[in-house]
Structure 1
Amino acid sequence: MGKSGTGLGLTIVWNTVQDHGGDITVESNENGTTFTLYFPATRAKAGPRKEESADDSLRGNGNQILVVDDEAQQRDIAGQLLESLGYRVLTASSGEEALTVIEEQDVDLVLLDMIMDPGMNGRQCYEQMLSRKPDLKAVIASGFSESEEVKKALALGASAFIRKPYTMMQLGKVIRTALKSRTTA
């Protein structure tokens, strides 16, 4: 953490490999490091890829969503996906900045990254947001698996957890469900 490269990131690669029942080996020497990815073999032919398109049930009604992520590229991607679904988007690069935004703007839901560095994590941020706006809805996002901190955020009242990378359809479904749900905080 602290410095980001331009690649996918090992967490996203690891989760993708795990989702497909694969494995990764790592070999390092003075010449560098080699990551070898293994995926299950199949003789079945791949079927045609379904193109994802957001149906009307996933479209927003101009609801305002605050995207909180310390990675600029992740904020941009989430913001573009949400805007294409009909939401208005605000962004914050830290938990501290997000607290300022919710004080100054009406926000219907927060899409909140779990791991942000430096500063507070997603659970800590959501906890402080709730002390200011007890009915604030949230969806927790992370490239990692559902951790204890994610479970704590869900226990506080966050509506759902979505793992990165996510598709427009996955994001649209989780946001619509969260907006329709009652706040349990």
Structure 2
Amino acid sequence: MLFTVFRGESPQAIRLEGPRVFLVPPRMSDWKAWAGLREESRGFLTPWEPTWPHDALGRHAFRRRLRAYNQEWRQGTGFSFLVYRLSDSTLMGGVTLSNVRRGVAQAASMGYWIGERFARQGFMSEAVSAVVEFAFEELALHRVEAACLPHNDASRSLLLKVGFRQEGYARQYLRINGKWQDHLLFEMLRDDPRL
């Protein structure tokens, strides 16, 4: 599968493109579509995510989120993207590379979410593949890691489909939906076959 990186003059102008999706860093103008999609998918997303603060979908919270994303981007420690359907520019979800480690590790962690009405249609597989390609080819990382709850069959299947390998089980790894929960750990190396 072919993925293309379009570069602009600033990191915010980077655009990743796949067969049916494109990904761009979030901007303030994305707030309404982002908040609407997250709200309509709240019941679908909350079992898999950290507890949402009371103002999670508010304009000021989104602005704080963007400031953090921009700082991480400038420091090279995190890269966040929103996922859009290529055919009509509809927002569908997001993918983030975080905890980018340089030095001897050259690794990052990946997280992702998708709105309920877009789930299980292959869009997130394309988006994750595009960000993996960005991590290896543009950031020159050696390893990308991901984790999911053991009972999240859709996420586990997605990771295996795009080329991740399950490598472990972490007890009480992340605080999800208000409680510490075990996770399956996955990884992909730069030289591994990819979707």
Q: TM-score range by the shorter chain?
A: 0.3 to 0.5
Compare the two structures and name the one with the higher strand fraction. Answer: 2
Find the structure with the greater CA-based Rg: 1
